[in-house]
Chain A
Amino acid sequence: MIARQISLLFDGFAYGMLLFVLSIGLSVTLGMMNFVNLAHGAFAMIGGYVTVTLMQKAGWPFLATLPVAFLGAAVASVVLERVLYRRLYRATDLDQSLLTIGIVFVSIAAAAFIFGTTQQPIELPAYMRERIVIGDFSFGAYRLFLIVSALIITAVVVLGLDYTRFGAQIRACVDNQRMARGLGLNVDRIFMLTFAIGSGLAGLGGAMAIEIVGLDPNFGLKYLVFMLIVVAVGGLASIRGAFFTAAMLGIIDIFSKYYAPQVGSFVLYLVMVALLVWRPNGVFARR
């Protein structure tokens, strides 16, 4: 009985961590740069396709493709940022939404054209597909990998923002652009790099998501809702908030599907509504 609950908790936490890695970049761009980037999922999809292509065509091992997935999404986002996004930094939310949702649709069509509409299968190395058994309790090795990766990413991002020079520069640019510029910071370049890191993390999330949820051209749209929930409930610009929200959503989702499968997929949204009524700016928002 207890083993079952631990097992569910573990699966839910791992699923939450997947949502977290997918959303953390959105928390950065939406929360810190104040840019409504609905195309975040499209960058995640780029990462996914980079991994699939390298594994299928070039025979790379899964782990080796992950940094490339990060870079691929980051580079693609810099190109888009320079060409399109930059012009809309001061535009209204509606303009930003329209542009970025348009980019999502373009990305769907482009992916379908290049890779076809089919699901992309990947075959993980055997040690990641194994099931680890400890006493009564057993869990999938890949889920453990998800959890560990997410914890490392969280640590790097949180520590990086709080304690590095670049992190301080980002915070300065976000808090007061004019003052930051006056102090000689290249705001334009810092925003570009921040955006690239956020999108790169999405690419990494997209690559790691294939094993759990699959990859096809609609990826960018399908998980957008989950990403927005994580960011909205967690509170904008709060990495810790996004972390706890994602973990909570994953666990609630798995538990409700297990104990009440008839309404299982609905509970998640109820919880979201309740939390947002309680704290409209997000549960972990800084006041």
Chain B
Amino acid sequence: MRKILIGLGSVAAVALMASTAQAQQTIKIGLVMSFTGQFGDLGTMMDAGVRLYMQKHGDTVAGKKIEIIRKDSGAAGSAPDVAKRLTQELIVRDKVDIIAGFSLTPDALASADVLNESKKVGVIMNAATAIITATSPYFVRTSIPLPQAMAALGTWAAKTGGLKNSYTMVTDYGPGIDSEQAFQGAFKEAGGNIVGSVRFPVVSPDFSAFVQRLKDSKSESVYIFVPGGEQPAALGKALTEHGLSPKVTKVLASGELTNEAPLKSMGAAAEGIITAWHYDSGHKSAMNAEFVKGIAGLLNGRKPDQFTVSGYDGMHAIYEALKKTNGDTDGDKLIAAMKGLSWESPRGPMSIDPETRDVVQTVYLRRVEKLADGSFGNNEFDKLENVKDPVKAKLKAEGKLNPDGTSKK
């Protein structure tokens, strides 16, 4: 009798376990990132953020298991139709519930239609042109709309920095033009004067001709935007080589120019470069210190950058929204849950603007200075809190924005 009871009990226990396992479904997240090609490092860094978040917070949310499916959008030279096709395959074939990643602006823009049709949420972990989030009501961004920091930099340069004129150099594609306009607009509005501008082709191995143009303009300052990857270091070296150190010409730039690798190659010549950006691995907070340590463990001692922190925060937005919907992955419910989320990130406080689904965050003004260990790093000397994207604010003021944050056609 006793034996039978034990036997019955264990059968019941097994049955019970089986039924809980059945109730515990999986939520699939598809990551569309460039893991190879010219922008391969972006994918590596973003994915490290995703991995670290899941390592810390487990792979179960609201009783459901999170499964990640990674797709490489960089294999075919980062063509936007690749990102679109991968997004489509993930949704149709792999039945994912959420798409995340998007290394570059064209990737995100090309995938907007797919998200609209399938009503799936797309979390942008890098692509930085302001207008992306206005192309689909299912986009949420945890990286940065470039004009957010660049307009702040333009205003600062003319008002506090005391600069009268500037020359702009940007890469000739969406985000470059976006940041050029933001900087020029804000700089002029604050009383500065743009003495010239040049746009580099996207593939530009030798920058010396452009730097020579800048030198001949005799401008007292220069504003630079180049995408992350190989170009910041090459451009930094061209500046050094032509004797344009920040001591002669004030160099203002987006954060890419003073990331870890370019700073190492520029050495002492980088001292004094001023950037406006949302994240630096040297940001002083206990949370960031832990984050830097975690990434060093995952990536063999490398420091995290803006891509890593955006991947990390993108996962946070997904986890928190799933907690609010109790595991429901319906696109409309998820996006509603993400609107207005606010949290403490390794970069500082941030939130999702309920009107535009874009990130609201602190923009830091930083200067490259010699650190205690003899290397060079970004020292945050000023900050602007709760900065929204100025481009969409302008669209809204002109009545060109729908209530769901998309732009009127």
Contacts and interface: CB of A to CB of B under 8 A. Distances in A.
B216 interface: yes
A279 interface: no
B261 A119 contact: yes
Interface in B38-52: 38, 40-41, 43-44
Interface stretch (B2-10, B81-89, B203-211): B203-211
A212 B235 CA distance: 9
Contact of A15 (B208, B240, B261, B262): B208
A261 B172 CA distance: 10
Nearest to B35: A117
A7 B241 CA distance: 12
B212 A142 contact: no
The residue among B35, B237, B242 with the most chain A CB atoms within 10 A of its own CB is: B237
Contacts, number: 112
A213 interface: yes
A213 B41 CA distance: 17
Given A121-B261, A121-B265, A217 B212 contact: no
A270 B15 CA distance: 74
Given A121-B264, A254-B208, A258-B212, A116 B44 contact: yes
B264 A123 contact: yes
Interface in A246-287: 253-258, 261-262, 264-265
A254 B206 contact: yes
Contacts of A213: 205-206, 230, 234
A31 interface: no
A257 B40 contact: no
Contact of A254 (B44, B199, B209, B299): B209
A236 B386 CA distance: 61
A11 B209 contact: yes
Contacts of B205: 212-213, 222-223, 226
B229 A119 contact: yes
A138 B216 CA distance: 13
B40 A265 contact: no
A131 B201 CA distance: 27
B215 to A, nearest CB: 9
A211 B261 contact: no
Contacts of A226: 205
B60 interface: no
Nearest to A219: B230
A142 B37 CA distance: 28
Interface residues of B, number: 41
Nearest to B213: A258
B212 A4 contact: yes
Interface in B110-168: none
Given A218-B37, A218-B38, A212 B237 contact: yes
A211 B243 contact: no
Nearest to B43: A117
Contact of A131 (B216, B234, B241, B299): B241
A247 to B, nearest CB: 14
Interface string A88-130: 0000000000000000000011001000111111110000010
Interface string B368-402: 00000000000000000000000000000000000
A134 to B, nearest CB: 13
Contact of A112 (B36, B38, B233, B261): B36
Contacts of B293: none
A256 B205 CA distance: 14
Contacts of B333: none
Contacts of A8: 209, 212
A261 B198 contact: yes
B182 interface: no
A167 interface: no
Given A121-B265, A214-B265, 10 more contacts: A11-B209, A15-B206, A116-B302, A117-B36, A119-B233, A122-B265, A131-B242, A212-B205, A253-B206, A254-B209
Interface of A: 4, 7-8, 11-12, 15, 108-109, 112, 116-123, 129, 131, 138, 140, 142-143, 211-214, 216-218, 222-223, 226, 253-258, 261-262, 264-265
9 closest Cβ pairs, A-B complex: A257-B209, A121-B264, A140-B241, A265-B201, A121-B265, A117-B40, A258-B209, A117-B41, A214-B230
30 contacts: A4-B216, A11-B208, A108-B36, A109-B36, A112-B40, A118-B44, A119-B229, A119-B261, A119-B262, A120-B261, A122-B265, A123-B267, A129-B240, A131-B241, A131-B242, A143-B241, A213-B205, A214-B233, A214-B234, A216-B40, A218-B37, A218-B38, A254-B208, A255-B209, A257-B204, A258-B212, A261-B198, A261-B210, A264-B209, A265-B203
